[in-house]
Amino acid sequence: MSTEERAMAARSMAAIGCSGHYDGKLALYDITVSQAHVAMLLRQEIVPADAAAELHRALDGLREQIRSGADVLDPEAEDVHTAIEQYLETRIGADAGWLGTARARNDLAVTALRLWIRDQVVTLRSKILALTEAMLGQAERHAATIMPGFSHLQVAQPLTFGHVCLAYAETFLRDAERISFVLALQDECPMGSAALAGTGFPIDRVTVARNLGFRQPTANSLDSVGDRGFALDFLSAGASVALNLSRFSAEIVFWSSQPVGLISLPDELVSASSAMPHKRNPDAAELIRGKTGRVLGNLHALQTVVKGLPLSYFRDLQEDKEPLFDTAETLALSLDAAVTIATLMQPNADVMRSAADIEFVTSGDLADWLARERGVPFREAHHLVTELVRLSEKEKCPIGRLPLELRRGVDPRLAFAEWPDITVEASVESRDSQGGTAPKRVAEAAAQLRSRLAEFIEFETDFSDQDIIKHEGETAR
């Protein structure tokens, strides 16, 4: 192989192998893990005290420079962890070499990534809860605002806007619970697993784990360094959030369209057409819906990376970070926009009420009434009302005003004088089963959800305060 060919091979390897230009997001987490590791090495008398002090001093200085925005790490380094080691070597010389004692990049990188994910969960959960709160606020204000309920995008039954908003509030609260579960599933620390088989140094993994805010060390070193299940858990929970944001956004697009007009959005959340000035395109909602594809794709990307990997670490796992970074950034952006939409959208109450009052919209209520009040088995009652609908269309007469004799012609059991004319308001009021759309039930459900939301926030705050350190701050030494 010629010198030129070797140089070309080296350039190709550097190009494909370098992640330092994007995994700098993990620099502060690497520093936190490294300081916890050095503190443990000192307590265990594995490294000299003066070397440990120099490492702490240099790592503190690096942290402050990164926080200030200084670009001090080499973006062309193989990865951020290598860049930090190179930085330390230039600052303190040979003593920097003690940092690699009883560890490897394998356990360092996966621990830093777990800490990063933990912070992302806390941030995203806060935004999801803000979205839940916004939808809950709408529900409380509009517990009695009647609108059409849709099935197959056809008007099905009347309900209230508050009921619909509560449905989304429940959905988003589940997403908050789901993403919180990611923390519980990764509450173990890989540090001390070293390359894959552990280490012969007398380390104290328990102390390192607790100083980093984990419940305990991981149980198996081989599993620890090659596992990316915790990353897939985060991406899976993120995909659920994105899917529900997409459904909500699709609803907003539909509700705000000109033929429907159930809600209005502020000018700041829509855009005008370049050719048709009268249009108000719901771009914010459409973009949220569109970004869902990226989040779902990121989950599939990492699933594809890990699907063929036996134990333990392979370089393929360098590809775990970009899907994670992109999902966290995309969800944060989408959630902020969704909170704004949920807070500022205005229901057009008159349009909603009119849209709910289509012909035969209370036909299902009539079938219920026949079963409840006249003792007609429901399936038969449903069939009879279907016949009445056809008769009403033929006679061009509302179903509530069909003459007795015409009803008798359908079935003798329908020939009674006290024939109900069920209104949209009566339909909504009647659906007062638990979880139903009756305004009083919506108000009750909103109060219960507010209580559950407060309990969830209190629990998660207590959990965070107990165990999770601020990773950009000081680590116990």
pLDDT tens track for 103-116: 999 999 999 999 99
Q: Does the structure show a pLDDT above 70 at 40? A: yes
- By residue range, what is the domain housing residue 342? 110-142+160-354+444-467
Residues 122 and 200 placed together within one structural domain of the fold: yes
3-state secondary structure (DSSP) of residue 396 = coil
Do 111 and 118 contact (CB within 8 A), yes or no? Answer: no
Q: What is the CATH number of the domain that holds 375?
A: 1.10.40.30
Q: Does the structure show a pLDDT above 60 at 469? A: no
**pTM for the model:** 0.92
User: What is the predicted pLDDT for the residue at 473?
Assistant: 42
Report the percent of the chain where pLDDT is more than 70: 96
Crossing angle for the helix pair 229-256 and 161-185, nearest 10 degrees? 170
Separation of alpha carbons 384 and 300, rounded Å: 50
CA distance to 1, 155, 370, 401, per residue, from 388 (Å): 89, 19, 13, 11
Residues 227 and 290 placed together within one structural domain of the fold: yes
User: What is the predicted pLDDT for the residue at 245?
Assistant: 98
3-state secondary structure (DSSP) of residue 465 = helix
Q: What is the CATH number of the domain that holds 70?
A: 1.10.275.10
Residues 276 and 330 placed together within one structural domain of the fold: yes
- Can 152 be counted among the known catalytic residues? yes
Separation of alpha carbons 57 and 51, rounded Å: 10
**pLDDT tens digits for 238-271?**
999 999 999 999 999 999 998 999 999 999 998 8
pLDDT band at residue 462, thresholds of 50, 70 and 90? low
User: What is the predicted pLDDT for the residue at 464?
Assistant: 62
Q: In 10 A of CB 32, how many CB atoms? A: 25
β strands within 202-285, DSSP E = 216-217, 263-264
Q: Does the structure show a pLDDT above 70 at 474? A: no
Average pLDDT, the chain: 93
Residues 337 and 370 placed together within one structural domain of the fold: no
Residues 6+ apart with CB under 8 A from 136: 165, 166, 169, 446, 449, 450, 453
More confident residue, 467 or 459: 459
**pLDDT tens digits for 376-402?**
999 999 999 999 999 999 999 999 899
Q: How many domains does the chain have?
A: 3
> Given 68, 151, 152, 433, which residue is catalytic?
152
> Given 12, 21, 273, 300, which residue is catalytic?
273
Instruction: Give the residue-averaged pLDDT of 65-85.
Output: 93
Q: Does the structure show a pLDDT above 90 at 471? A: no
Q: Does the structure show a pLDDT above 60 at 470? A: no
The reply to whether 432 falls in a domain is no
Separation of alpha carbons 475 and 469, rounded Å: 8
**pLDDT tens digits for 179-210?**
999 999 999 999 999 999 999 999 999 999 99
The reply to whether 231 falls in a domain is yes
